Amino acid sequence: MHALYRTFAARALARRTLVLRSGSTIRHQSTYKQPATGVNPAYDEALKVIEAYSSKKAREAEAAAAELKLAQDSGADSAALGLLQQKWFDLAVESRINDGEVLWNARQGNYDLSQPVYQHLKREAWRGRPLEILMQRLLQMYVLPDMLDPRVVGTPESQLHISLGGQPAIEPGSAVDPADARAPPAVELVTFDETPRLHTLAMLDLDAPCEAEQTFREQFHWIVSNLSFSLGASKADVASGSELLAYVPPHPAHGTPAHRYVVVALEQGDGGQSRIDGAEVSRDMTMREFVAEHGLRVAGISFFRAAWNESVDEVYRDVLGQPAPRYGPMPTPSKHIGPDGREINKYANY
């Protein structure tokens, strides 16, 4: 292997060390076992073909790495460097995409995201069934367009995971016990991008009752800005951000349908390089207003549902400091009941 290619490998190893130290998901030791050779001649011949192809692509990746390094040293523009970087990345993926151990580890969810081939496979896994389920539920449960126009949101580029009460990540749209969300959720945003970018994390209720207007409206429960996410730092470090709105636990009122609680990672302006400090926000603003005012873009999104139980009354008492409301259906008008609420005498004339 050429010295330059070893340099890229060293950088990959450094990034891997960063991943392990940043608190992101730690890759487990591979459990792959190489099938025995010398048993099936066809299998042995197939291995030779795969190894020859992989070696060829590895040599091309080395050449692409050298070309990229030369362009960097000569001060090439960012567009040209981006194309060369993508060329090297694609060849590095091709050189290992048919490796049995790599494919085995990917099927087990055991990704080493310091290596291009695992980055590619994890991105493709996300763009498959998980993304399809997410978009299906966002639309079927009217999270979109109730919160934002689906045409504005498009397809989320990053995979957002929500964990409540120390439990595993929940499926989008899952029904949860409000007591499990008494503390802020743990959020992981897999961005598939090595460049650190600043994001704003927001959680809101799309179904907060509004008595004045006799309808439901949005209500923000939590906003934290200036959170940095990258391929090597996917878990939200809330302490490092700027909390614009303190966390309020979900409190779906008695008598209301199940509420939809949405957690959104919004990339901040200038490609995630602009900060948001000291912004004036309100729990009663809408997501459309917030996104438009600060030039934000949806990077990742997920949500869960919660309905009233007895633990909700504790939130009203201990956190909000107010009596727990009770809602119910409007009484059905009856021709036998007068304006004073008393039964009409059949001989009276109203």
As beta bridge partners, residue 210 has: 215
**What pLDDT is attached to residue 349?**
58
Based on its alpha-carbon atoms, the radius of gyration of the chain, rounded to whole angstroms, reads: 27
Residue-level length of the chain: 350
SS (H, E, C) 6-64: HHHHHHHHHHHHHHHHCCCCCCCCCCCCCCCCCCCHHHHHHHHHHHHHHHHHHHHHHHH
* Tokens standing for residue 39: 């048993």
**What pLDDT is attached to residue 87?**
96
As beta bridge partners, residue 319 has: none
pTM for the model stands at 0.82
Q: Using CA atoms, how far apart are residues 156 and 30, in angstroms rounded to an integer? A: 30
Beta strands 259-267 and 297-306: pairing type?
antiparallel
Q: Using CA atoms, how far apart are residues 208 and 157, in angstroms rounded to an integer? A: 29
As beta bridge partners, residue 205 has: 219, 261
Phi, psi of 34 (to 5 degrees): -65, 125
**What pLDDT is attached to residue 1?**
41
DSSP calls for 180-196: GGSSPPEEEEE-S-SS-
Q: Which amino acid is at 61?
A: A
The per-residue pLDDT for range 214-262, each reduced to its tens digit, is 899 999 999 999 999 999 899 999 999 999 999 999 999 999 999 999 9
Phi/psi-derived region of residue 75, left when phi > 0, alpha when psi is between -120 and 50, beta in every other case = left
- 187 neighbors 316 (Cβ within 8 angstroms): no
- 306 neighbors 294 (Cβ within 8 angstroms): no
Angle at 277 between CA 276 and CA 279, to 5 degrees: 85
**What pLDDT is attached to residue 26?**
52
**What pLDDT is attached to residue 217?**
96
**What pLDDT is attached to residue 319?**
96
The helix/strand/coil state of 232 is: coil
Q: Using CA atoms, how far apart are residues 93 and 87, in angstroms rounded to an integer? A: 10
* Tokens standing for residue 198: 């600043």
Q: Which amino acid is at 259?
A: H
Could you list the pLDDT tens digit for every one of the 350 residues in the chain?
444 344 444 444 444 333 333 334 456 688 898 889 999 999 999 999 999 999 999 999 999 999 999 999 999 999 999 999 999 999 999 999 999 999 999 999 999 988 999 999 999 999 999 999 999 999 999 999 999 999 999 999 999 999 999 999 999 999 999 999 999 999 999 999 889 999 999 999 999 999 888 899 999 999 999 999 999 899 999 999 999 999 999 999 999 999 999 999 999 999 999 999 989 999 999 999 999 999 999 999 999 999 999 999 999 999 999 999 999 877 677 777 777 777 877 766 55
Task: Tell me which residue has tokens 């919004």.
Answer: 266
**What pLDDT is attached to residue 214?**
87
How does 326-343 read in b/e, with b if 16+ C-beta sit within 10 Å?
eeeeeeeeeeeeeeeeee
- E strand or H helix at 140: helix 129-140
Q: Using CA atoms, how far apart are residues 146 and 218, in angstroms rounded to an integer? A: 9
Q: Using CA atoms, how far apart are residues 190 and 231, in angstroms rounded to an integer? A: 6
Task: Tell me which residue has tokens 């459990």.
Answer: 31
